[in-house]
Every structure is written in structure tokens, then in C-alpha cells.
Structure 1
Amino acid sequence: MSDIKIISLGGVRENAKNMYAVEVDDEIFILDCGLKYPENELLGIDFVIPDFSYLRENSRKIVGVFLTHGHADAIGALPYFVSEFDVPVFGSELTIELAKIACENEEDARKFDDFHVIDESTEIDFENATISFFQTTHSIPESLGVVIKTENGNVVYTGDFKFDQSAEKGYRTDYARLTEIGREGVLALLSESANAENPRETVNERAIYDFISENFEYRKGRIIVACVASNILRVQQIFNAAAANNRKVALTGHDVEKVVKTAMRLNKLVLPEEDLLIPIKKINDYNDDEIVILETGRSGEPLKSLQKMAMGRHRFVNLHEGDLVFITTTPSHAMETKVARTRDMIYRSGADVKAIFDELNSSGHASKNDLQLMMNLVKPRYVIPVQGEYRMLSAHAELARELGIPSENIFLLKKGDVLEYKKDEMTISSSVEVGNTMIDGTGVGDIGNIVLRDRKILSEDGIFIAVVTIDRKKRKIVDTPKITSRGFVYIKTSKDLMVESRDIVAKIVQRDLDNKEFDWSQLKQDIRENLNNFLYEQTKRHPVILPVIMEINQNNHFSKKKKKG
């Protein structure tokens, strides 16, 4: 009997950042390697990736990374992973091509070339397990679930999926294969939960296309479509609707052009007309009712670009009266405030806004019925809801209980939990330390809680700077302390506050200079503490206080000048 461990490195009690390690004896199989976009409190952070600490400690056991699809929540962290770990990466043809594009953007990942294209009929034999795959329906072609076949039964990971009876070729679920996997015996099912708490059934993609095409037909002005670059299905629907309504399509953004060209090269995306696409610089050569602008934004996130358009700061497109901004992506709950703010800015520019999710319950993720159907098809002994905040995981667990799966066989994991199967029983045996690795520009993991706390304070209460020049030999302040601030108070109307602050700094510095045991760090700390107390008393705010102490030696300075003269 094999010793099996399932470790959540991301993707539980949070949206996106999917990464799970399944350890069978002394082999580790990694399922997805995704990122998530930061929430508002992560100031300045570009995105967040999983913590690889456990994998570093067990790097010799890793036999491969198995990718379910080509969205950022599944492949976004791969460039950072392959920069450190030299292990093979497996995925469908399109998924691998999109993974290569992601790796091109990270210098250390460009040299990695151990990619392997697989499909739903592929089986890979390892020493302790056999890996196979099954087709699923998602908003990108060639999405696959992963099966890890062990002596104790199958461990199944669904990736992102939904069931859609009207799905077209390349997007269809293989129901027969799922039934076969169930017959073989499924020990554990890791199933996505992103849409588990939604009480409404999702509409099929044919209804979504009809809705898009109808809006294209009856709108007279320009249509700016906001979409995620890697949502190939939605991009195809936009192309088809534009062609059916005699409109040309212009792409904005480097990301979408790369993704579209790659998907077209692989015949996963088809142009209904050869001359459908036009350069973004040519949009003024056409009437407004002949144009569709496809906006995906940097890294596939279109909202910031829409805000720039609304404020007249976009490189190519500025909104005006008569424009329709058509949001065709369904944002997560964490993005609702940002979506509302963006809509307000668009209306102020004179344009109109419409979103698919206002009128249709559209989603690329499994509904309640879909989740229960998946469990009925594969008949797992244990259910592990993944991908979603706690309330989504909990809703998924309730769906499992409705099917008669005992509560003790359902596990709502925290990041780092180690689920272990031993002696015919699955239990949470221990945990490993798992945090978040934050990416800020070229920095990987160099931003911690202290830096984020300072950024938060700076954004809310500003900075207060005290500059003092001293002569330590003569134990005196050379010049009156200079006080300035940014984002804290308006200096011209707060002269008394600045004068009192200056006097406090001068008093503290002189007191420390008079002390026989002068200490630089203690002096700065004294300034921070005293100023902090005073400023809070006066303003009820806590700015970041930055003391700047400069030292000169006046005797040396004057003697050098005299000698020179």
C-alpha cells in the first residue's frame, strides 16, 4: 500500500493561486502553479504566488508539474517555479504554448525548455503512480483534469471546469472517461469551488453568444469589449459577433496580441473573416459603428485600462459619448468595489456600460448541480473542495453531504495542511509552513509585512521628515532642525504644528548629545517616539516618521579652508 499525502500550497481559502502537491511514497506530483492578483491592501504588489519553501526542502522528490489549463490561476507562477526547479512540465498543446509566453517575461525562466505536450489519451508511468488526463469544459480550449492512479485508488484533480451540453469541439467534457475513472475507484477528489455558493444555474455559452451578438447589432457607436486575454472562448465569440455585424476588431495590449496569435497558429481560435483584425492605430479610419476594440489590459486584467480610457490617459483609446463599454468577464467578489468604481468613471466620460453578469448568470466555473454531477460520476471516497474562499469551500462541502458523503470524509483544508492516507484512513496529520510570495516589479518575495504596513501608513497618514545637522565633538546642533511632510498635513496652514515639532526635535537631539553614551540608533528612536506621541495628540494620525541626522566637524572644515587660502 502506498503512503499518500496531499498538501495545499495555495488555492484554498482564497481565490486563484492554485497549487497542490500530491506525494505518493517518495514522489511529488505538482498540480497547477498559479498566481492571484492582489487585493487592495497589498499596496504596490503586482501579484502573489505560492510559497515554494516545502518544495525546496523536498526538491529531489518532485517528478513533474501537471497543468490543467492556460489561465493565470493555473500557470501564472510557473516562470518563478522553473527559475528554481529543473523538473518537467506537462500540459495540453495550447496550455504549454501559453506557459512558454509567461516564461518569456521572466529572464531566469527563458532558458527552461523541459515542456511536454500531452492530451486526454496520454498516460505517464512513474515509479509509484500513473498519471492520466480527462477533457473538461472551461473558457479556454484543451482544459484537462488530472488523475493520479495509485495502489490505493485514484486521486482526481478537476482543475477549472463546468458542464455545458452545448459546448463546441475542443471544449467538450468527456463524460465516458469520467465514468470510467469512477469505476476504477476514486480515493480522493480535489474539486474546484469558485462558483459553489451561487444558487443560480449558469447559462450555456450559446446563450452568451446570442447576448453578445444582439448588443453588437443594435449599438450604433464604438464598442469597447473588456475581456481576459486568455479567455479564448470569449474572444472567439467576440470575433464571430463582430463579423456577423460588419464590424472590425482592434486589439489593444501586447498580451492579447500574443495570446491571439498563438491560439490562431494552433487553430484554437479562428478568424471568421480574413480582414477582421485591424491595427489599433487605424480605428479612426472607420466609422464608430464599424469598430470593436478588444481591451484586456496588462497581464489580462482590463479594469485599469478602462479607467485610463475614461480619464483620457489611454495610449490609443479615449472614451467619448456614444461609446459602449461591454464587460464580458465575470469578476471575483474581491473585485466588486473596483468594478463599481470603474463603471462610475466610464459614465462620467459620457460612455455607457453593460456587463454580461448584469443580465446572465455566466461563469466558467461549476455550478452546484455541476459539482454534484462530478461527484456522482467519479464516486469519491473523500472530497477535498479547493479553489475558493472558505464560504465557497463550505458550500461545496454541504453539496457533498447532500449526496450522502460523510462529514468526516470531507476536508476543508488551510494552506499548508498535510492530508495523509495511512492504514485505510485519511486524516490531517500535520502542516507545513506556507506563506505568500509577493511579486513587486523585479522583486520576488522581498516584500514582507513590515514593508506592506509602511506602505499602508504612507497611503493613509503620509510621511513626516525631520532633518538635523549636529557637531558631535562640540555636542551642539549646528542649524535649526528642518521639518517637512508629504501626505500628512498642509504645511502652510499648520505652521504652529511644525514649529512645535521642530522644538521637540531640537530638545531631544540636544538631550542625547549631552549624554556621555551617545548612540545614533537611540537618538533616531527617541525622535520617532516623541514626535509620534505629539503628532497623534494633535492630529489623531500616525504618519511614517523619518529622522535624518547629519554630522559635520566644524574644526576640520575651517582648518582646511584656512590652509587652502
Structure 2
Amino acid sequence: MTDNNHYENNQNNENSSENSKAPHEARAGAFERFSNRKKRFRENAQKNGESSHHEAPSHHKKECHPNKKPNHHHKPKHAKTRNYAQEELDHNKVEGVTEILHVNERGTLGFHKELKKGVEANNKIQVEHLNPHYKMNLNSKASVKITPLGGLGEIGGNMMVIETPKSAIVIDVGMSFPKEGLFGVDILIPDFSYLHQIKDKIAGIIITHAHEDHIGATPYLFKELQFPLYGTPLSLGLIGSKFDEHGLKKYRSYFKIVEKRCPISVGEFIIEWIHITHSIIDSSALAIQTKAGTIIHTGDFKIDHTPVDNLPTDLYRLAHYGEKGVMLLLSDSTNSHKSGTTPSESTIAPAFDTLFKEAQGRVIMSTFSSNIHRVYQAIQYGIKYNRKIAVIGRSMEKNLDIARELGYIHLPYQSFIEANEVAKYPDNEVLIVTTGSQGETMSALYRMATDEHRHISIKPNDLVIISAKAIPGNEASVSAVLNFLIKKEAKVAYQEFDNIHVSGHAAQEEQKLMLRLIKPKFFLPVHGEYNHVARHKQTAISCGVPEKNIYLMEDGDQVEVGPAFIKKVGTIKSGKSYVDNQSNLSIDTSIVQQREEVASAGVFAATIFVNKNKQALLESSQFSSLGLVGFKDEKHLTKEIQGGLEVLLKSSNAEILNNPKKLEDHTRNFIRKALFKKFRKYPAIICHVHSF
């Protein structure tokens, strides 16, 4: 009797026996009968050389291909018994599909050669999918050189050069804010020295978006060097406005308006602008095709799936380049310490709605003037609650006007009033949108808080919404304006309302998504201080980028990248130039150093008249100081210095007395040493010596 018949007869006998018994007797013996059946089945299976985990017989099994003949290449141990391990179901030829059912001689489904081939094929597909850069020609000798001139080791001031031996492009020309202590300095701009060195091969300036830390230094560069300037309409519109302020209107002829998803040739590069979401509209990532390979530069970005304008990040286009193979990714590191994802810009709407609804007096909202969508949302809620809108602050007015003229936003003109009209309306019918979220002393909000504004002062019933976070370095300024507002008894919504501001930069999960979409061979984290790019490196490693393929740059580093290598090849001069924003004039480094010296150590001034023959000071000599001693001690200090100089002159030889230059240096050195001995610091010394 075969296994099949034995199995069936046992089942039939047991079933008939069960049916003849009373139900309660059948239940009582059920477990015992099941155990006996299992034992007999195992014994029979072992006699036939099969596993106890026997497969069900063919008449209980659905055949996928009933006409398929057995595979005679695989012989069972017991030919006299039908062994289901011999049967191998063939497959219909469908692209990408192989149907296999192969049971080994011991009865378990295993990884046989066909299955192993499938595993290997899928592994190969996965590896190629995760590493499409393997398609690159590793024998190519082409390479590019990356040189950051700003934006690494700092927040802001972004500027980068990508070059080949014959061609170069400059990505962004941004400004940054000075730290405390740079007296009279309003903004910092990159040092353009390297651009002067390679000016003959620079094919153009490439703008990713219109934030000040990416376009703020363009007019200062154009005063020295002029190149074609490529960007989206909003970027060029705001740059054009800056050029007008600097008297550079004639240079608008260099502007080149680009369209997203439309690659263009710039020198030896083919560049495509890809739509990206950020805290300013019309932002872009860049796909830069070179002979060495494709480079993706994200610009500043976050992955906002529900942006205010309903134009999300063009993930498809990023993935398109990722599938083709990307040699190098340069990606925004600003929020690399933040876990999770950055909230959508649209998530602040409920908080704005609540604040506007509950406000009893005027609402004053301050944010970055470039955050058009934030301003737009505030204005929408102002209109919803029947408030007239006054936009105050030069940059805020300019940016909003340009955005409206270009059609990025649509707002009814009848809802707007001028600053001098605010007093004509009840407080609960007014919304003021203004600059000053960073505590700038010349901003409209600061002047309102200190009663310096011509038309508006802060009132106790005002609600002031500061919808921004302090840029590193501006914390003290923001704190100062908050103190002024609170002293005026205004209600202030700031950091305790964590839903009135969202970042424009990607957090870790968005950075991971970018890394997975692009799948670069090499990675250079950009935009941020060293701790930001170092943290971004760890995120990249977790996404499969080998540590040896990542380099952490600083401003001035020159990194060469080719299909098979990445290495540092040099360092060039980089740094900052100082600008007085009120006059739009650059300030020499030596001037800033002098200001620091005066601020920290004070000034001592001496106008000295010397009688050479008598080797004595004349009574007309004058001495004064600033920042060294109080007014009461001024005369005592003057007498000390004067007495010491008289002794010095008596001991001076004729060579010094008869040489005006040597006499002045001799006198200056004495004063310097005397002041250091007294105050343990070196004040700035202004010394003029006249001998007779």
C-alpha cells in the first residue's frame, strides 16, 4: 500500500468510527486519536526515507500546472514510491517573473539553484538601485574642484565655486550678520579675492533662492566683477531692487531668467533648477552635469508636502537624477541636529487664527521680510478678521510689492493702508506687518518699541507676534527689543508659542530622504557651523554613504572630486569683508581692528612740542584720554606722562632729537610702555611731535 492509500484508509476508518460513537465519546477520544494518527504517519514517512514534516498528498494539493512533467534530473532515493520532491513546477515566461516550487528530497522548501539565482538577481537590482553611481566611468580622468568661500563654519554668507580647468560657476553670493563687538559693522560679505584670480573662466553666478544669506552680497561683488547672473524671477527681482539701491541698475543686463526643469549650458556645465520648498518661495536645488559626473546641490531646503502655494518639492526630478547616478551631493546641514521632520509652513495657520481672533487691540506681526508665505498668511487672517493692513519697513514693503507684481501672491489692494493712516482706525481693526524680528536697532519694530517711529508707538493693548527665531549672534538684540516691548506692557507672542514659527530647513528624516533619493557616491555637507556638517555626516553614514566618501569642508578648502576619488587639494585665502549698511560702503579690516582696540583699551592722545636745544617740553603740549580714567583722574594721568617725557627728552641723544621721525617713534614707545605698566593693556595712541 502506498503512502497515499494508507493515509486515506486510516482517515476513512477513523472517521466512520467517530460517527458511530456518541458525541461526548468522540470528543473524549479526539486528542488520543489525533496523536495516534500523527505517530503512524511519522513512522510510515520514515520508512520511505521522508521527513516527518510530510507534504500533503497530491489529491489534497492544488496543482498550478497539472500538465507539467516531472523533472527526471532530480532522482529520489526511493524510486518505487512517488516522491513529491521530484515535481518542479515550470513557469510561464513573463518578464521579471519566475514561478518555482521545488521541494528537496527531505520534504522542505529550500533555496535551490533557481531560487538562489532569483535571490542573486534581486540583490543585484537592489545594489544597482541603491548605488546607481556604479554606472559611472571610473576610468574617466575628469574631475571638478569645489571651493566654499562662505557658509561653512558659520550660518549665512553662502558662496561656493565649482570649477574645471577651463570653466567655473559661482553658487550664491550671500551676506551674514556680525557677532557682537564689531562696532559700526552691519553686515559681513565674503572675500572676493579668489574670484579675481579665476575671473577669466567664470561663466556665471548661479542663484538658488532669494534669502539675504544667498543674494545679499551680489551688489558688492558687481562693484568689483561682473558676470552673467542666473536665477528664478523672484531671486532676480529682489537682486534687481538691491542693484537699484546701490546705483547698479545698468547691470540688470547681466540677468538671465531660468525655468525649472529646463537644463541650460553655462560654460562647461549643464545646469537644471529643481523646485524645492523652503521658507521663501521659488527656491531651487541644482542638478549640475559635468564631464566628471552629476552634482546635486540642494540649496536650502525642507520637504514640505503641504506648502502654502501647493507647490511641493519636486521629488520626482530629484529621484530621476538619483536613478541616473549622482557623483556628488552637496546638502543643507542647518537643522542636522533636529530629529524627525520640520513642520509644514501651513501648520502655523491655526495659531495665527487663534491669536488674531482673540486680540483686543492692534496686532503687530514681525518676521523675516523674505518669508513671503508667512507674511501672506498673516495678511489673510488680518483680512478675515476685518483689519486694515499696514506694511512697515523698507525691505518688507519692497519684497511684498515684488511678489505681488510677479503674481506669486494675490491680495486686495483696498485692504492696505499707509503707516500715517493707522491712527484713523480703531485698534481692533489694524494689523501692522513689519520688520525687526532680529532686534535690528534701525528696524521699524525697534523704533516703535523705543518711541522713535514717526507714526507708531507701542501701546499696552497691542499684541506683538514675533514669528521668527533669533539668528545665531542676534540673541542679545532680540532680547533687547523684547524688553522694550514688555516694558510698554504689550502682549508678546514669541518662543512660548512654538507653533507661530517653523524652520525652513530639513531635519534628519528629510535629510535621509534626500540622501536616499539622490544616492550619491560622494557627499559634502554644506551650510552650517562645523558641528552641523559633522552631524549631517553621521546621518549620511546611516543611509549607506561610506565614511571615506564624505569630507567635511571649511571655508577656503579646495576639494577635488572625480568618479573614483575625493580629496583635499589645497586651501585658498578666504574670510570676510565688513560693510556699513547705512552707507553701503565697505570697511577696511584695519578700521575694524582699530575700533576693537579703542573699545577694549581706550585712547590716549598727545600733541607734543619739543625744544631741541633745551631738551624740554613746551607748555603748549596737550594730553588727553578716552576710556582710560575718569574725568577726575585725567589731570593726574597727564602729569604722570608729562613728567616721564621730560625725563626721556633729557636722556635722548642728538641723533633722536634732530630726526623728527625717530623722535616721534621714541616718544610713542615711551607712552605705550608707561600706559601698559599702569593699566596692563595697550590703548590706541595718537601721538604727534613737533620740535623746534
Structure 1: runs of 5 or more not aligned:
554-565
How many residue pairs are counted as aligned between the two chains? 548
Q: How far 1:473 sits from its partner (Å)?
A: 6.8
Rounded to whole Å, the distance in 2 between the matches of 1:116 and 1:170 is 26
Partner of 1:560: none
In the alignment, what sits opposite 2:225? 85
- Pick aligned residue for 1:394 from 526, 530, 534: 534
Partner residue, 1:41: 181
Taking the aligned partners of 2:145 and 2:636, their CA distance within structure 1 comes to 65
Residue 463 of structure 1 pairs with residue 600 of structure 2: no
Pick aligned residue for 1:203 from 343, 347, 350: 343
Change (3 A) 1:127 1:285: closer
Which residues of 2 match residues 243-322 of structure 1 at below 5 A?
Answer: 243-271=383-411, 273-297=412-436, 303-304=440-441, 305=443, 306-322=445-461
Shift of 1:23: 1.0
Name the SS for the 1:8 alignment partner. strand
Which residue is 2:74 aligned to? Answer: none
Indicate whether 1:178 and 2:318 are aligned: yes
Which of residues 372, 375, 395 is equivalent to 1:235? 375
Structure 2: 5+ residue stretches without partners: 1-139
My pick for the range that moved more, 124-133 or 209-218, is 124-133
Deviation at 1:198, TM superposition (A): 2.4
Aligned partners of 2:624 and 2:634 also within 8 Å: no
Q: Which has the higher contact order (CA 8 A, sep 6+)?
A: 1
SS, match of residue 419 in structure 1: strand
Change (3 A) 1:287 1:62: same
1:498 is aligned, of 626, 638, 662, to 638
Partner of 2:273: helix, strand, or coil?
strand
1:515 deviates by 4.8
Alpha carbons of 1:393 and 1:240: their partners in 2 closer, same or farther (altered >3 Å)? same
The alpha-carbon deviation at position 190 of structure 1 amounts to 0.8
Identify which of 362, 379, 386 aligns with 1:222. 362
- Partner of residue 623, structure 2: 483
Contact 1:309 1:319 in 2 (8 A): yes
Superposed CA deviations along residues 116-173 of structure 1, whole A, max 9, x for unmatched, are 1112122112453311111000122111111111233211111111011111336421
Aligned pairs (5 A) from 1:3-402: 3-108=143-248, 110-126=250-266, 128-169=268-309, 171-199=311-339, 201-271=341-411, 273-297=412-436, 303-304=440-441, 305=443, 306-355=445-494, 358-360=497-499, 362-402=502-542
Q: Distance in 2 between matches of 1:345 and 1:526?
A: 51
Residue equivalent to 2:91: none
Contact 2:438 2:478 in 1 (8 A): no
Distance 2:332 2:345 in 1: 20
Q: Secondary structure at the match of 1:380?
A: coil
CA distance in 1, matches of 2:183, 2:203: 36
Compute the TM-score of the two structures, normalised by the length of structure 2.
Answer: 0.75
Percent same amino acid at aligned positions? Answer: 28
For residues 458 and 95 of structure 1, what CA distance do their matches in structure 2 show?
40
Q: Secondary structure at the match of 2:413?
A: coil
- Residue 397 of structure 1, CA deviation: 0.8
1:208 deviation in Å?
1.0
C-alpha contact 1:307 1:342 (8 A) present in aligned 2: yes
What TM-score, normalized by structure 1, do the two folds share? 0.91
Partner deviation per Cα, 1:451-477 (whole Å, 9 max, x = no partner): 323212222332222222335577543
Q: Which residue of 1 aligns with 2:588?
A: 447
Deviates more, 1:106-115 or 1:214-223: 106-115
Amino acid of the structure 1 residue aligned with 2:519: K
Larger Rg: 2
Aligned-partner Cα distance in 2 for 1:41–1:519: 39
* Helix, strand or coil at the partner of 1:359: coil
**1:424 is matched by which residue type in structure 2?**
A
- CA shift digits 1:82-129 (9 cap, x unpaired): 233332111111111111111112235643421111121221124533
Moved more, 130-139 or 39-48: 39-48
Q: Following the alignment from structure 1 to structure 2, what is the Cα–Cα distance between the partners of residues 319 and 513?
A: 68
Q: Deviations for 1:360-397, whole angstroms, at most 9, x for unmatched residues?
A: 36201111111111111111111111111111111111
Question: Which residue pairs with 2:571 in the alignment?
Answer: 431
Task: Give the direction of change, closer, same or farther, for the CA distance of 1:14–1:424 in structure 2 (3 Å limit).
Answer: same
Q: Which amino acid aligns with 1:303?
A: E
RMSD of aligned residue pairs (Cα, Å): 2.4
